Chains A and B, each alone.
Chain A
Amino acid sequence: MSNTEPDFICLHCGLTVSAFAPDGDERDHCPSCLTSRHVHDQHDDGVSDCAARMTPLSVVVPSDGRWRLVHRCVGCDELSEGVVAGDDSPLLLMRIAVRPLAEPPFPLELLGRV
């Protein structure tokens, strides 16, 4: 979200969200349902005119240890990533983080023998 609009309304749950998190970071997703909006384009490095809803996809951890949330656009399948704010829903975050482990493509018990 740009600085010109201080608050925004979540496209998914309709919550009115302040532009800045309590820890001072600029928000790019709703803290309640983690939904974002496609406004930045990673290819041309500019503003995207898609503006569709972006669903939370995965939690990635760079070397600094802070969780980052990857979103995928419902409209055009683009990916984007943003920092996790302090008041983001912990239940949803943890659900996304452990989701792959609930459906492993191979039996995890065998890993002990590798």
Chain B
Amino acid sequence: MGRRDHRGPRRPQRRKTVLRARGEQGRRAGPAAESFRCAGCRLDVPARAVGSAHRNHCPHCLTSLHVDGRVPGDRTSDCGGRMTAAGLFARPDGEWMLIHRCASCGELSANRVAGDDNALALVRLAVRPLTTSEAARRTLAHL
């Protein structure tokens, strides 16, 4: 594994007061809703996630919901569209981040992966640039 071992003790994740937005499932149950329904695969997802205090995407199909504006957790967007996972990148400390694109308005957002995210879906997303044969072949041919 080419994993880096300079991961020092990291600052604990900030607590946010997460509000429920229009279009967000579980809204009627109030801020302390136990679970939400995935907009992509209809899985009933428990709100508690492993390794993350703020679950914002489905662990099975990685789909999210467009409820936040500029600041994560601010719930100021009135789009409410489905956000599909478009790509991945690795933070300097080695942690993977997901890039979501709103299927309704095209906006992008970056989110941490959670500990119980579908590993197969994550790796499929990571190798996606290499499996789109034409673009990858052209890039490799010009190396």
* A interface residues, Cβ below 8 angstroms from B: 42-43, 57-62, 65-67, 70, 72, 78-81, 84, 90-91, 93-94, 96-108, 111, 114
Contacts and interface: CB of A to CB of B under 8 A. Distances in A.
A80 B143 contact: no
Nearest to A41: B70
Which size bracket describes the interface of B in this complex? Answer: 35 or more
A109 B53 CA distance: 28
B132 A67 contact: yes
Given A43-B69, A65-B135, A114-B119, A90 B89 contact: no
B29 interface: no
Contacts of B128: 60-61
Closest 10 CB pairs of A and B: A60-B87, A58-B89, A97-B129, A79-B108, A103-B94, A90-B142, A60-B86, A65-B132, A100-B90, A59-B129
A42 B135 CA distance: 26
A61 B95 contact: no
B2 A103 contact: yes
Interface string B59-90: 00000000001100000000000000011111
A105 B129 contact: no
Contacts of B110: 57, 72, 79
Contacts of B107: 42-43
Contact of B99 (A78, A79, A94, A106): A79
A67 B139 contact: yes
Contact of A90 (B2, B96, B143): B143
Contacts of A67: 129, 132, 135, 139
Contacts of A104: 1, 3, 96, 123, 126
Given A81-B101, A105-B122, 19 more contacts: A42-B106, A42-B107, A57-B89, A60-B87, A61-B135, A70-B86, A70-B87, A70-B89, A70-B99, A84-B135, A91-B143, A94-B139, A94-B143, A98-B129, A98-B130, A100-B126, A103-B4, A111-B119, A114-B120
B127 A101 contact: yes
Contact of A61 (B87, B89, B113, B119): B87
9 contacts: A59-B87, A62-B86, A70-B99, A81-B101, A84-B135, A90-B139, A98-B129, A101-B127, A108-B123
